[in-house]
Chain A
């Protein structure tokens, strides 16, 4: 079935398809219509789940953490300062290895207040141990949301599905809704490794010492460091799980194929622009324009940002002469976080460092500053001519 709906509704429909059992949320623009839609579906009896209108985002994720610990499939969504307010719980959910799914309708963070789109909110959560997927259009939002539950449950790691506030969250686009009757084939009911249960008591997330320690049976139990190492190892292995999940999804629903990176006209490209989210689709127009001018350029969307699909990124960029990383967020005090990650990937994976492409970072659309396709083309023309604009923030007026 195809519908014409907003990105937020696409996410909500994905959550319903996945059979989330507990939904907790606190209103924040531009996420709110997503969880409003879920409350509507639940109240109307069209979705069998518990909806908890909590008093803060910190509590929203607390409810999900606790519900997941007790064996329920749990979902929340937020944006911007809501996500920052959750930050302690974001770490906690990953440390507790709970397969929670959260949608983030990306929005700039304060101060000053700004409700428009950039990626600073979710990029600021990159070190929390969550899997982060960036959707570029409505079809990817609904598909990624459904896939996120399977990835989360297969890895016992929470997943953030990020999509651009307003640009995707509030715009109407046609997309296909996966058939509910096929979902069971793709996503079986949640089977938690352990669920809080009086018949089998356990003390979860208790104080854990720096050193390993014997348990009551005389077996050596992990210390904090071992527990954290396993999170890192499983997160690194999650790259493969994301790929396998995408393949399984393709088999059942016939869509997918770009779980890690999404190249567009990169095969013969001398220059590649790299980014996250809907910007990479906008950049396709720029690529067409510049190609018409004789430049061999392509665009690479990074779909999975954490864990970093470093090998896939390096493979996609190998042979390019130059790379431009276009970002809507940065690690203040240095550069765009994706730009740094990408340089690392190249350094680690390119066999001959002398053939590594140059990498230039560009910042665009901070706080919702309009990103004109013509401005992107101009910035890239400068870059192709050997000098990116200075400052490298596109369309800044100082």
Chain B
């Protein structure tokens, strides 16, 4: 597949400017570029989340695609319902894409996601992971990383590790699982383009920096997202038909054999402000251990 560049990206916009996303919202980038990859013949399924807000308050909508808002737990089941209705009406050409936050994916939504993946229902599930319940005021979720201060882990930070949803989806044996980052929209774009050519549930997990939730100035969203990848804290990869490979900046980092210290990423965000040097060293050790298992990747 040829890599998309900023010059070959479609000019058609599906998300109107001036929407209700916060300034510097990582989702704003991912959703804008993601909908370009999906194209006009698409129905979007959205549980309550920041995207509900971004899409606007009735009767105004900021997305040009038809969108079904669902209850929190049922995103994937709703995608199945739309899909089956399209099949029943001979409208299979239309793509069905779920866009859920990390809570709607990893926590309350995981039962329906797992069910749909097991059934092999043919849609794309996008998880935009801003690592917490940001829309309700920054509470911890299953994907909040260890050490992060949130509204309900106010003093000690989250004590537990981040839930690895992509690994859970890989364990379902589905055709395509990928991670991505709002800071690398072209990598995301190409992954979506590839995913929609495959069968069954396809899963893409997008690391989505969040200025108010993570504690950094809105202008640094891309910088923070890049640091996560450059430090190896968040990796860009895809598992296509069981074949794992790093992509984009992560593949480059592996090839070069250099990664920035994780501290650069942690210290750029106030949510990690209470982390001790020992805890930060522990995070670095985990990242190093993870990277010691990597080999191959794009162009390797």
Contact = CB atoms under 8 A, between A and B. Distances in A.
Interface of A: 21-22, 24, 49-50, 52-56, 58-60, 62-72, 74, 88-89, 92, 195-198, 200-209, 213, 215-216, 221
A363 B248 CA distance: 69
B119 A203 contact: no
Interface in B80-127: 80-82, 84-89, 94, 111-112, 114-115, 118-119
A74 B78 CA distance: 13
Contact of A22 (B53, B55, B73, B88): B88
A197 B67 CA distance: 9
A195 B81 CA distance: 13
B248 to A, nearest CB: 30
27 contacts: A24-B81, A49-B88, A54-B77, A58-B77, A59-B76, A59-B111, A65-B70, A65-B78, A66-B70, A66-B77, A66-B79, A70-B85, A74-B85, A88-B73, A92-B71, A197-B66, A198-B40, A201-B64, A202-B66, A203-B58, A203-B66, A204-B66, A205-B70, A207-B52, A209-B58, A215-B59, A216-B59
Contact of B41 (A59, A69, A198, A200): A198
B165 interface: no
B61 A202 contact: yes
Interface in B179-212: none
Contact of A53 (B61, B65, B119): B119
Contact of A196 (B63, B66, B119): B66
7 closest A-B pairs by beta carbon, nearest first, are A66-B81, A55-B115, A62-B74, A59-B77, A70-B85, A72-B85, A62-B77
B66 A198 contact: yes
B81 to A, nearest CB: 3
A354 B105 CA distance: 60
A70 B85 CA distance: 6
B10 interface: no
Contacts of A215: 59-60
B66 A89 contact: no
A66 B85 contact: yes
A55 B121 CA distance: 13
B94 A198 contact: yes
Interface residues of B, number: 45
Interface string B36-66: 0000111101000000110111111101111
A66 B59 CA distance: 20
A205 B67 CA distance: 9
B69 A72 contact: no
B74 A206 contact: no
B68 interface: yes
B81 A74 contact: yes
- B40, B64, B69: which has the most chain A beta carbons within 10 Å? B69
B121 to A, nearest CB: 8
A18 B193 CA distance: 39
Given A72-B89, A198-B41, A66 B52 contact: no
B59 A50 contact: no
Contacts of B80: 24, 52, 54, 59, 62-63, 66
Given A54-B77, A66-B70, A196 B82 contact: yes
A21 B115 contact: no
Nearest to B86: A70
Contact of A203 (B67, B86, B88, B115): B67
Contacts of A72: 84-85, 88-89
B81 A213 contact: no
B57 A209 contact: yes
A153 to B, nearest CB: 15
A212 B76 CA distance: 32
B68 A89 contact: no
B60 A208 contact: no
A208 B82 contact: no
A118 B81 CA distance: 31
